[in-house]
Amino acid sequence: MTGWSKADIHVHTRYSDGQSSVAQVLDQADRVGLQVIAITDHDTIDGALEARRMARGFDVEVVVGEEVSTADGHLLVLFLERVLPPGRPASETIAAAHEQGALCIVAHPFDWLVPSFGAALLQHCAGASPAWPVDGVEVFNASLPLPGMNARAAAATADLGLSAFGGSDAHHYSTVGLGYTLFAGAGADDLRQAMIRGDVRAGGRSWAAGHYAAVAGLRARNGLARAARVMARRTAGVS
């Protein structure tokens, strides 16, 4: 597709529940040929801000994002400058994001394993003046274990007439870029304008078994390391 570039709009780092450093994520994004990457850690933008500072050393542009834990489900917010607090209704979060000039993408709406918008998407995102005026929906999430979850998202998004996005939901650097959004242009500014116009396409391939194993293995090792530190502190008499 001549004139189109590739962005991964859904990536986590060690600043939330990701298993990789910012540098590892940027290196992988560079290596797989992404033009833009959005760091969307849960309820923090610290990792995204670090990535934006570090991006000069890589051939990839960084969008500051956040996966906000709203009261109604997870929401990807891109092009942020100030963190959005979790726990508020989706309508309030979307309004606060738009006040910053940020854009809101519904994350994995039909993933029943984590808090998601679900069928409420069809109720609250429909019509000329929706209660949840989102800017699009993640219709391909590479991490979802059941293909029907993405299929339902794609069907609902088409019914609503919203823009369709793809992301890796990377929690380990090896999965960065597996899910992606194609957009007209070259960099982060072009991505934002393409998102506003709806000139985007979702694509990618799902995590393989080895990717799930890598994430699970690292989480297990991190859990053991934390347990060892707690035991060491208790043995030393530190509360």
Q: Are residues 157 and 219 in the same domain?
A: no
Q: Within the chain, what is the greatest distance between any pair of CA atoms?
A: 64
Domain count, the chain: 2
- DSSP string for residues in the chain: -TTEEEEEEEE--TTTT-SS-HHHHHHHHHHTT-SEEEE--BT--HHHHHHHHHGGGTTSEEEEEEEEEETTEEEEEES-SS---SSS-HHHHHHHHHHTT-EEEE-STT-TTS---TTHHHHHS-SSS-SS--SEEEEEETT-SSHHHHHHHHHHHHHHT--EEEE--BSSGGGTTSEEEEEESSSHHHHHHHHHHT-EEEEE-PPPHHHHHHHHHHHHHHHHHHHHHHHHHHHTT--
Q: Are residues 222 and 196 in the same domain?
A: no
The reported pLDDT for the residue numbered 226 is 44
Surface-to-core class of residue 165, CB atoms within 10 Å of its CB (0-12 exposed, 13-18 middle, 19+ buried): buried
Q: Are residues 127 and 141 in the same domain?
A: yes
Q: Are residues 95 and 212 in the same domain?
A: no
The reported pLDDT for the residue numbered 231 is 41
The reported pLDDT for the residue numbered 212 is 72
The reported pLDDT for the residue numbered 228 is 44
The reported pLDDT for the residue numbered 216 is 66
Average confidence (pLDDT) per 10 residues, the chain, 239 residues? 87 96 97 98 98 95 98 98 98 98 98 96 96 98 93 98 98 96 96 97 89 63 44 50
Asked whether the beta carbons of 29 and 37 are under 8 A apart, the reply is yes
pLDDT digits (tens, 9 = 90+) for 181-204: 999 999 999 999 999 999 999 999
Q: Are residues 166 and 83 in the same domain?
A: yes
**What CATH number has the domain bearing residue 27?**
3.20.20.140
The reported pLDDT for the residue numbered 219 is 52
Q: Are residues 203 and 221 in the same domain?
A: no
- Global confidence as pTM: 0.89
Q: Are residues 138 and 157 in the same domain?
A: yes
Q: Are residues 19 and 122 in the same domain?
A: yes
Contacts of 50 by beta carbon, 8 Å cutoff, 6+ apart: 15, 22
Task: List the structure tokens of 175.
Answer: 């999965």
Q: Distance between CA 170 and CA 88 in Å, rounded?
A: 25
pLDDT digits (tens, 9 = 90+) for 109-153: 999 999 999 999 999 999 999 999 999 999 999 999 888 999 999
Range of the domain at 90: 4-207
Q: Are residues 60 and 104 in the same domain?
A: yes
Q: What is the CB neighbour count within 10 angstroms for residue 154? A: 16
Q: Are residues 72 and 107 in the same domain?
A: yes
Q: Are residues 199 and 229 in the same domain?
A: no
Q: Are residues 9 and 49 in the same domain?
A: yes
